[in-house]
Structure 1
Amino acid sequence: MPIYPDKKNGVLTGRWRVEIQKDGKRRRGRFDSHAEAVTAEEVWKREPIPDVAPERRETRRRTQVHSLTEACALYAKETWPSGTRRREAITQIGHIAEILGDPSVVGIKRLNVSEVREELLRRGYALSTVNGHLSAFKSLLRVVKEDHPAVNVPTMGIQKPKNARIRVVSDEELEALFRFHLERGTSEFNKVILAYLMTGARLMELLDAKPEAISRHWLTVHGKRDKTRNIPTSPETHNLLRDIIPIPFSRSQVRRLWDAGRQHLGLDDDPQFVVHALRHSCATRLIKAQVNLAVVKDFMGHESIETTLRYVHVDDPMLLEAARIHGSSVAASGGLIGGVFTSLTTRKLAVLT
């Protein structure tokens, strides 16, 4: 068989070997994931096998120009250190290569990006999913460019949904979800739901977390673009994380269990009711608890305060309460300012009565 698990001294290494024979020649190689091995096999089947033994991988990748799929196979681990994100990105690059006809990485242009976006949207992908594909595309090209300066990294034009609704999970919905999983016999998933709500973590941040990432007051996770960040934890959250990490569900299992609850709640037609809504709920609860915006920004791992401001929803009662607090502050300041303000307030009340 052309693809098989790699072994060393009879022990599985966790890598995959690819071996093909063509025209009486043989080519072999090792790869870090099955997806990379499959991509390499497809590329090798199309290419003639060199007459000389292939050069070492590091030398080869720096000296020859690659197709998009081959570049992905060679640079994936460097581009996406997280195994889970890497597998997802390899799939996304595969979609892009299919759309563009697996071009040389040197020939990528802005027009190709537009072609990819339009085709993905035509296929019915959500804008966020299209953005994920383009983000993977850009990340790969940037890493390849370090070895091949001729590679162009065009502007991806990643778009954000206009006036996107921030979907939070209400207390009533949480209660219904908990009750559903209790009755269904999947009550362990309720702990996972609670963990996402308490930490505000992104989906893969918790799924990739290891027990050693939990300290007394912090949970260390790998966030967007594999940046490390620390999430503060209360004693209750700390105990919860100790109980469930590593998360006993895969990514697909988490989504299936969540979707089962969504269907039970009759929310099949609400595409925003996803696990990520628990992150929105965490940020919204912090804002409503009047936690300082700068603190909320760091808690959630936002790069910009503008992102945090999306969770601030101002209504009339909040404005009136702000006026009351400000008035009390001025009145309590003493001196002429406080005296004048207090006399004005007293006079106004007398007129009203």
Structure 2
Amino acid sequence: MTLCDQIEQQTEASLSAHTTLVENLLATLTNSANAEELKQNWQRIASHFTTLFTTEASIDQLKQTILQLAVMGKLVPQDPNDELAATLLERIAAEKARLVKEGKIKKQNPLPPIAEDEKPFELPVGWEWCRLEELTQIITKGSSPKWQGVSYTENPSDVLFVTSENVGAFELMLDKKKYVEQKFNEVEPRSILANGDFLMNIVGASIGRTAIYDIDDLANINQAVCLIRIFKNLLCSSFFLQFFNSSICIGYMFDKQVDNARANLSMGNIAKFLIPVPPTAEQHRIVTKVNQLTTLCDQIKTHLQHQQQTRLHLADTLVEQAVSNR
């Protein structure tokens, strides 16, 4: 048992060193000053790929780095023929003004200008910084049924009630569905969900997990979930889903949390999030590339899991044989 403890300590120290090495090498990618430096840093990692990415945690780190590179404009080349993001933002502003004039959305309060020292990194040519509210029709959160005198039900024909437990990173988790009385949507019409809405957890340990509501069921949300509705006819929702789940955006969330004892984001802070906006065509190219690379990462992780299962099975067999031979 003493030998086992020593091996365990050595393994933990080795894993810690490995994690630090992977973090530092991946950081060279996101910190690269230009495309040539990025290429050199990636070649250094690629030459030791099978040594570096040998754990599920290291693969997850690689996936997060891919997201960071994507939203920083370092994953795919820019195309000078793309419509500029500034022109895209003008079209969104015009569409928003039309909806306000028609009484379909409320006029939003003026946003503070973006100061240079707020920008976390330099954008590629053709991109623009904006605040999240500039891209949205609505940013709101739900309410507790108890506060509204509404009861839970077992009837799937009632209102599907989505809580933070149902919002995972990149996907909804609706294995355990909850329902509330129909009248909940009468008292909480602003937070009724529409297909394509972003759902972001804003309270507690799951803060930052963001998914798209991609079904048509009549649904509402509780107070721990924020609804973000962008102009999805003008923007690529998948790109912004990648941004919301990136460490850059999650860093905003923990920086802006209201109550340090229990993470809690306000709608005002979320509205002011800085968003890097690429041209629409580039948004789609980025999503395609991220999906390709994360699929490869998942395949590597599956291979590692199979290797681990084989090792465990072998260890179990050897122990069983040793014991039976006593």
> TM over 0.5: same fold?
no
Which is richer in helix? Answer: 1
Indicate the structure whose relative CO is greater, using CA pairs within 8 Å and at least 6 residues apart: 2
Q: Which has the larger radius of gyration?
A: 1
Question: TM-score range, shorter-chain basis?
Answer: under 0.3
Q: TM-score, normalised by structure 1?
A: 0.22
Q: TM-score, normalised by structure 2?
A: 0.23
